[in-house]
Amino acid sequence: MLRVEGLSVAYRKVPALSEVTLEVGEGQLVGLIGPNGAGKSTLVKTIAGLVKATSGSIVFDGNSLLGKATEDIVRLGVGFVPEGRHIFQTLSVEENLSLGYASGRGFDASTHDAVLDRFPILRRYYRDSAAGLSGGEQQQLAIARALLARPRLLILDEPSLGLAPLMVDSVFEVLVSLQRDGVTILLVEQNASRTVATADRTYVLGAGHIRAQGTSAELLSREDMLETYLGKKV
Ligand SMILES: Nc1ncnc2c1ncn2[C@@H]1O[C@H](COP(=O)(O)OP(=O)(O)O)[C@@H](O)[C@H]1O
Ligand SMILES: [Mg+2]
């Protein structure tokens, strides 16, 4: 469904990604882990049209995404939940959500109801200011907003960052249930062990290069992966 090939990105000539190749198949939940500064956000922002590539290709459902505007990429069916959630604190839950279908394929009542069914807390605080929501609830709002655009591929950048453990659990539960409902997912996470355990396959990024990729069993069988990226003593 998504194929990134030989992708390189630089900020003012300083390389951030070098020849990155990554594939997400329809219906899969694919993880992307790696230390701070590895280039994870750069990779997903480039897919979302927010950062320019120097070379390589990004193809989604047969469409090249390189050079396309973010709104056109959203319209093709790619949803993006940015790092830090980007909720408008001064707006209500409803107004934050309306930005989702504004950027997508228009308002669809059944999608709207289905999304609110998934996140009952958002229905409860629908007319209230988003500033009153906890961090975990704001993350639900950010995910809900992306879902209103009816993405076929949902990309999330560190959705569990800064959340209390119970809220981290609920984020992972939401992702698993979305996958079950047919949404393809590319998940960027610092929570490496949890991601490897949840995803069908995980890519490990280090200093702009893909260092490894594989299933949980494949990655956990590699001592270098365990020690360097999964924080486990071998
Ligand atoms: N807007 C930017 N301008 C210049 N350098 C950047 C910018 N964004 C990220 N970088 C640099 O690119 C590298 C990768 O960053 P990033 O993609 O944010 O990594 P990660 O998400 O894995 O922590 C880092 O060295 C970072 O300092
Ligand atoms: Mg990042």
* Nearest residue to 53 (alpha-carbon basis) of 210, 212, 208, 213: 208
**Which residues have beta carbons under 5 A from ligand 2 (an ion)?**
40-41
Residue 111 CB neighbours (<10 A): 18
Per the structure, how many domains does the chain have? 1
pLDDT above 90 for 102: no
What pLDDT, on a 0 to 100 scale, did the predictor assign at position 233?
A: 54
For atom 1 of ligand 1, the residue with the nearest CA is 11
Q: Is 166 within the bounds of a domain?
A: yes
Which residues constitute the domain of residue 9? 2-85+151-228
Q: Does the CB atom of residue 39 touch ligand 1 within 6 A? A: yes
Q: Is 160 within the bounds of a domain?
A: yes
Q: What is the mean pLDDT of the chain?
A: 93
Band (pLDDT 50/70/90 cuts) for residue 223 is confident
End-to-end Cα, the chain, rounded Å: 36
pLDDT above 90 for 227: no
What pLDDT, on a 0 to 100 scale, did the predictor assign at position 231?
A: 67
Q: Is 219 within the bounds of a domain?
A: yes
Torsion, Cα 124 135 207 70, to 10 degrees, reads 40
**If you compute the radius of gyration of the chain from its CA atoms, what whole number of angstroms results?**
17
Cite the DSSP H helix spans in the chain: 40-47, 70-76, 93-103, 109-118, 120-124, 135-147, 165-180, 192-198, 216-220, 223-228
Q: Does the CB atom of residue 18 touch ligand 1 within 6 A? A: no
User: What is the rounded distance in angstroms from the CA atom of residue 138 to the CA atom of residue 136?
Assistant: 5
Q: Is 118 within the bounds of a domain?
A: no
What pLDDT, on a 0 to 100 scale, did the predictor assign at position 85?
A: 79
What pLDDT, on a 0 to 100 scale, did the predictor assign at position 104?
A: 64
* Nearest residue to 153 (alpha-carbon basis) of 44, 4, 2: 2
CATH code where residue 42 lies: 3.40.50.300
pLDDT above 70 for 232: no
Q: Is 71 within the bounds of a domain?
A: yes
Q: Is 165 within the bounds of a domain?
A: yes
Q: Which structure tokens are listed for 76?
A: 């093709």
Query: What is the number of the ligand 1 atom nearest to the C-alpha of 208?
Result: 14
CA 74 to chain centre: 13
Q: Does the CB atom of residue 90 touch ligand 1 within 6 A? A: no
User: What are 57-98's pLDDT values in tens digits?
Assistant: 999 999 999 999 999 999 999 999 999 878 999 999 999 999
For ligand 2, the distance from its centroid to the CA atom of residue 114, given in whole angstroms, is 30
User: What is the rounded distance in angstroms from the CA atom of residue 200 to the CA atom of residue 191?
Assistant: 15
User: What are 24-58's pLDDT values in tens digits?
Assistant: 999 999 999 999 999 999 999 999 999 999 999 99
Is the CB of residue 35 less than 8 Å from the CB of residue 191?
no
